[in-house]
Structure 1
Amino acid sequence: MIFQESETVELKSIVVDDIKKEIIAFANCEGGKLYIGVQDDGTVIGVDDPDGAALQVSNMVRDAIKPDLTMFLHYQTLNEDGKQIIAIDVQQGTERPYYIAKKGLRPEGVFVRQGYSSVPATNTAIRRMIKETDGDHFEDMRSLEQDLTFEAARKEFSERNIPFGEPQMKTLGIMTHDGVYTNLGLLLSDQCVHTIKVAAFEGTTQQEFKDRKEFSGSLFRQMDEVYDYIDFRNQTHSTFQKLRRIDQRDYPETAVREALLNLLVHREYSFRASTFISLYEDRIEFTSIGGLVSGVTLNDIMMGISVCRNVKLANVFYRLELIEAYGTGMLKIQEAYSGTGKTPKIETSDNAFKIILPNLNVHTEQDEPSTNKLVGSVQENLVIDLAKKQGTFTRKDLEKTLEISQTACGRLLKRMMESGQIVQEGKGRNTHYRLSE
């Protein structure tokens, strides 16, 4: 037999540590044969102890290469020119990429065949092999980063008295059955590469920054720190009706919480771009990477229908009682604004999903400023109380009671008449209002 190195043939005179790289490269590509006892020029020198050498290679493969590759190797002792050599047939593996366990899923640990040599794989090649093997679902794919810690996650699980060891990690999909961390594990780890950028602006445009910050680390850490950042700026405004004080925050806490959780759980993590939260004088915008899941419309979302993009991530948040059943988040946001006269909005594109929460204490341009102004259902309830107390009332009565302008009072009366809560009687100076019967 003539021995010559090629893309599928590698020659080694003795067993050396680099044999691991050759085996990995063959398994990651189209397979190949490794001959031990043959020099690079094809000269057969033989092996003194073929069985011992084969066992040495077998142990090396078992202990130093991940995932398990032993079933894809076949060993055979051949006699050539009166000398014994070892032929190792390496098949293409089904769990590519294979890598040196100590190096991990990085170029220095993953090798491919290039010409007559075994060379480090590029990150692009590694991702392609993972995608081909694990499928196209991001959270199930093996993470390129395997040196992960979980301090924030352990704290979150501990606070709810839920175990968080290796068995739980495997059950939740944070690691595979053979102990390799998945992208879900990367998201929950302290080394998470995805971030949230938050910016506060002066006024209602992005012309002038007040503050900006980028939050990193585990999604749990980002969740807590971003919520605290917004909550600190979610001011409470007090208004008075005679001796009665009414406190109202700029944004309902429930709406902020659900919008933030939606940002974390439903974004498309296969994109590395950061998600954004923008705080303006009159609104907060939560902009998540990734549009609607295929087949789901905006109307479906508003009706509470949800197809989860990251099922396993959502399951972790569900187990930690951070979210409830799928699809309830948008309904909770709507309910938080019910009766306020303000409506949250959703905007979508092919690659983005935006939730806009209006500031309850900032009014439209048509509203005239008033330091003691009430909004939404609070105003309407006070009108109803006035009508019950007096039977009928005039616009002057209402202006004095609510301490609002003539223009604002006119809009309030019109809105309540259109909704059927009150009726108008008389004309001119004799105009007055009462509750509908």
Structure 2
Amino acid sequence: MKESKVLEYKESVTNQFLKTVSSYANFRTGKIIFGITDRGEYIGFNNVNQVILDIENKINDSITPKPNFTLSIQKNNTICLEVEKGIHKPYLYKGKAYRRSDTDTIEVDQLELKRLVLEGSNLSFEALESNASSFSFDTLSKILIENLNIKSVTDDLYKTLGLININDKYNNVASLLADNNNFSCIDIARFGYSINEILDRVKLSNISILSAYQTAIETFERYYEYDQIEGMYRKPVTIIPKDAFREALANAIVHRHWDINSHINIAMYQDKIEITSPGGLPSGISEFDYLENNISVLRNPILTNIFFRLGFIEVFGTGIQRIKEAYSEAAVKPQFIISDTSIKIILPVINAKPKVTKDESVIMEELKSGYVLSSSELVERTPFNKSKVIRLVNHLCESGYVYKVGTGRGTKYRV
């Protein structure tokens, strides 16, 4: 197996591995295999028991607080160290916290360190007391009265919604929902035939996120919905599924990092919409879990609950699946581009045609009837060898025409 975010190889035991121990304990359970080269060659140890003792002593003496870990002897006298993701964060090595970036281990920045401190204290940025001096909730009150069918809004309701803490102080979620605040909300840009042709632009800042959400929906309706006249009747037409846009927008709002002074970017094109949210996946959830397993780790549970109560989102953890379902009959599917710092969802127009090569169309033809096939099965069904099939399906996945199902040797592909 190749090195990854959760797997590292070490030929020998030096203090460098302690940075990786810090990263696994802070962010994600992972393994370090000692006695194996970066190329995967086994060299092992002659004095395995002494090496295990050295590793254990180094961790106990150098990582604060002590993480949970196990050590075991593997084949060819190599040693496996498995470090569990901990709850008493941050886990520090020489006073610094670390994280994995692909196959490298790097020091976290000050913002990430603050998040680890909050997480270790079972707190979140949204629940912290707001620095704002005054609050007005005209937009929130109006929407609550309309959507919850109540006559008036009181402080008790705000407490129930989680906007007021035990000390009767408003938190950051309250500030985000207030009519005036210090948050960067949503930046909407509509482009012509290229990114150099900007037809419309609106930056929504320092207003209730609910107002920004409504403005984004209205902008979508203005440019992607229209009436088509058929005989004596008007037929409403939506060229991008509205449910998919609403889900993607709500997802971007409730799952983003609000401690970053950055907008959610909505780029509107003639053939697609791109919604980019600051902040990657929450700690503890994989890309496969996010895209395929309907697993949702709530980064902002208070805000998510409010959007759920208002009917802006459906059941927790089903947003991605609902976006996919909106495109169930479309030839071109939505794309999900995930990095450490952002999540981008690309929603194509519903009648878009796949832009594929002749060879890629052969792969698509085998998958289009609902088959879920492995690369080996595609080799049997097509005139291509294994390396070419893998190259073709990887490009089709990057283009959003094909999805991966499963991981490792169990990976299969479907339209």
* 1:154 correspondence with 2:141: yes
Residue 300 of structure 2: which of 291, 307, 310 is its match? 310
User: Are the equivalent residues in 1 in contact too, given 2:126–2:173 (CA < 8 A)?
Assistant: yes
* 1:182 correspondence with 2:171: yes
User: Are the equivalent residues in 1 in contact too, given 2:225–2:239 (CA < 8 A)?
Assistant: yes
User: Are the equivalent residues in 2 in contact too, given 1:174–1:182 (CA < 8 A)?
Assistant: yes
- SS of the residue corresponding to residue 199 of structure 1 reads strand
Q: TM-score, normalised by structure 2?
A: 0.54
Unmatched segments (≥5 aa) in structure 2 = 1-110, 372-415
Residue 345 of structure 1: which of 327, 335, 345 is its match? 335
- SS of the residue corresponding to residue 212 of structure 1 reads strand
After superposition, the Cα gap between the structure-2 partners of 1:261 and 1:417, relative to the gap in structure 1 and judged at 3 Å, is closer
* 1:215 correspondence with 2:204: yes
Report the equivalent of 2:128: 141
For 1:18-68, what per-residue CA distance to the aligned partner results, in whole angstroms no more than 9, with x for missing partners? xxxxxxxxxxxxxxxxxxxxxxxxxxxxxxxxxxxxxxxxxxxxxxxxxxx
After superposition, the Cα gap between the structure-2 partners of 1:231 and 1:418, relative to the gap in structure 1 and judged at 3 Å, is closer
- SS of the residue corresponding to residue 273 of structure 2 reads strand
- SS of the residue corresponding to residue 139 of structure 1 reads helix
For 1:398-429, what per-residue CA distance to the aligned partner results, in whole angstroms no more than 9, with x for missing partners? xxxxxxxxx9xxx89x95996399xxxxxxxx
After superposition, the Cα gap between the structure-2 partners of 1:285 and 1:164, relative to the gap in structure 1 and judged at 3 Å, is same
Specify the code of the residue in structure 2 equivalent to 1:169: Y
Report the equivalent of 1:100: none
Residue 252 of structure 2: which of 259, 263, 268 is its match? 263
Residue 313 of structure 2: which of 323, 340, 358 is its match? 323
Post-superposition offset of 1:178: 2.9
Report the equivalent of 1:419: 369
- SS of the residue corresponding to residue 327 of structure 1 reads coil
- SS of the residue corresponding to residue 262 of structure 2 reads coil
Specify the code of the residue in structure 2 equivalent to 1:316: I
User: Are the equivalent residues in 2 in contact too, given 1:334–1:343 (CA < 8 A)?
Assistant: yes
User: Are the equivalent residues in 2 in contact too, given 1:254–1:333 (CA < 8 A)?
Assistant: yes
Residue 323 of structure 2: which of 333, 336, 345 is its match? 333
User: Are the equivalent residues in 2 in contact too, given 1:215–1:226 (CA < 8 A)?
Assistant: no
Report the equivalent of 2:25: none
Report the equivalent of 1:35: none
Q: Distance in 1 between matches of 2:330 and 2:307?
A: 30
- SS of the residue corresponding to residue 302 of structure 2 reads helix
After superposition, the Cα gap between the structure-2 partners of 1:358 and 1:147, relative to the gap in structure 1 and judged at 3 Å, is same
- SS of the residue corresponding to residue 139 of structure 2 reads helix
After superposition, the Cα gap between the structure-2 partners of 1:191 and 1:298, relative to the gap in structure 1 and judged at 3 Å, is same
Q: Counterparts of 1:190-201 in structure 2 under 5 Å?
A: 190-194=179-183, 195-201=185-191
Q: Distance in 2 between matches of 1:234 and 1:308?
A: 30
Unmatched segments (≥5 aa) in structure 1 = 1-123, 368-406, 422-437
User: Are the equivalent residues in 1 in contact too, given 2:332–2:354 (CA < 8 A)?
Assistant: no
After superposition, the Cα gap between the structure-2 partners of 1:245 and 1:272, relative to the gap in structure 1 and judged at 3 Å, is closer
For 1:79-120, what per-residue CA distance to the aligned partner results, in whole angstroms no more than 9, with x for missing partners? xxxxxxxxxxxxxxxxxxxxxxxxxxxxxxxxxxxxxxxxxx
Post-superposition offset of 1:135: 6.4
User: Are the equivalent residues in 2 in contact too, given 1:134–1:142 (CA < 8 A)?
Assistant: no
Report the equivalent of 1:120: none
Moved more, 175-184 or 252-261: 175-184
Post-superposition offset of 1:305: 1.1
Q: Distance in 1 between matches of 2:336 and 2:353?
A: 20
Q: Distance in 2 between matches of 1:309 and 1:418?
A: 36
Share of identical aligned residues, percent?
Answer: 33
User: Are the equivalent residues in 1 in contact too, given 2:173–2:303 (CA < 8 A)?
Assistant: yes
Report the equivalent of 2:243: 254
Post-superposition offset of 1:164: 2.8
- The structure whose Rg is larger is 1
Give the superposed CA RMSD.
Answer: 3.7
For 1:270-317, what per-residue CA distance to the aligned partner results, in whole angstroms no more than 9, with x for missing partners? 111111000112110010011000121121112211111000111111
Report the equivalent of 1:202: 192
Q: Distance in 2 between matches of 1:420 and 1:331?
A: 17
Q: Distance in 1 between matches of 2:188 and 2:347?
A: 15
Q: Counterparts of 1:368-383 in structure 2 under 5 Å?
A: none
User: Are the equivalent residues in 2 in contact too, given 1:345–1:356 (CA < 8 A)?
Assistant: yes
After superposition, the Cα gap between the structure-2 partners of 1:418 and 1:302, relative to the gap in structure 1 and judged at 3 Å, is closer
Moved more, 207-216 or 285-294: 207-216
User: Are the equivalent residues in 1 in contact too, given 2:191–2:268 (CA < 8 A)?
Assistant: yes
Q: TM-score, normalised by structure 1?
A: 0.51
For 1:155-206, what per-residue CA distance to the aligned partner results, in whole angstroms no more than 9, with x for missing partners? 0101022453111212222112332110011011111322200001112x42
Q: Distance in 2 between matches of 1:318 and 1:193?
A: 24
Specify the code of the residue in structure 1 equivalent to 2:326: A
Specify the code of the residue in structure 2 equivalent to 1:419: S
For 1:230-267, what per-residue CA distance to the aligned partner results, in whole angstroms no more than 9, with x for missing partners? 11100448699x99998742101111111111111111
Specify the code of the residue in structure 2 equivalent to 1:140: A
Q: How many residues align?
A: 250
Q: Counterparts of 1:77-96 in structure 2 under 5 Å?
A: none
Q: Distance in 2 between matches of 1:132 and 1:292?
A: 15
